[in-house]
Amino acid sequence: AQSVTQPDIHITVSEGASLELRCNYSYGATPYLFWYVQSPGQGLQLLLKYFSGDTLVQGIKGFEAEFKRSQSSFNLRKPSVHWSDAAEYFCAVAPLVGAGNKLTFGGGTRVLVKP
């Protein structure tokens, strides 16, 4: 069965510092890959997605993610964190074919930003 692992439950980073969130997936074939962000009390907002092609994907709010097939990873990065980036981040996968639009999520990483 497919699964998504986000090894870090919490990460604390200083404002202006870089951020990297890890995501590993287990799947029969390379799935569609997504990163979502959730602010407190809110729904999920899509940051970026990967289907194929260039393994470095640019998203909104200055985020990027790199797909590494050999490591089954899709890590999210941001060069300089802003206080408004404090939120919970979810990595998710969806199948390439069939199974409609079913997303499987990782457990999430909560990011705290220190002033």
Partner 1 sequence: KAGVTQTPRYLIKTRGQQVTLSCSPISGHRSVSWYQQTPGQGLQFLFEYFSETQRNKGNFPGRFSGRQFSNSRSEMNVSTLELGDSALYLCASSLGQPGNTIYFGEGSWLTVV
| Sites of contact with partner 1 (CB under 8 A) | 32, 34, 36, 42-46, 49, 51, 90, 94-108
Minimum distance from CB of 65 to partner 1 (Å)? 15
Minimum distance from CB of 96 to partner 1 (Å)? 6
Beta-ladder partners of 94: 32
State which residue, 58 or 80, has the beta carbon closest to partner 1.
58
Q: 47 and 76 in contact (C-beta within 8 Å)?
A: yes
Minimum distance from CB of 15 to partner 1 (Å)? 27
Q: 35 and 76 in contact (C-beta within 8 Å)?
A: yes
Instruction: Count Cα neighbours of 71 within 13 Å in the Cβ-side half-sphere.
Output: 11
**Rg of the chain over all Cα atoms, to the nearest angstrom:** 14
Helices (H), the chain: none
State which residue, 51 or 83, has the beta carbon closest to partner 1.
51
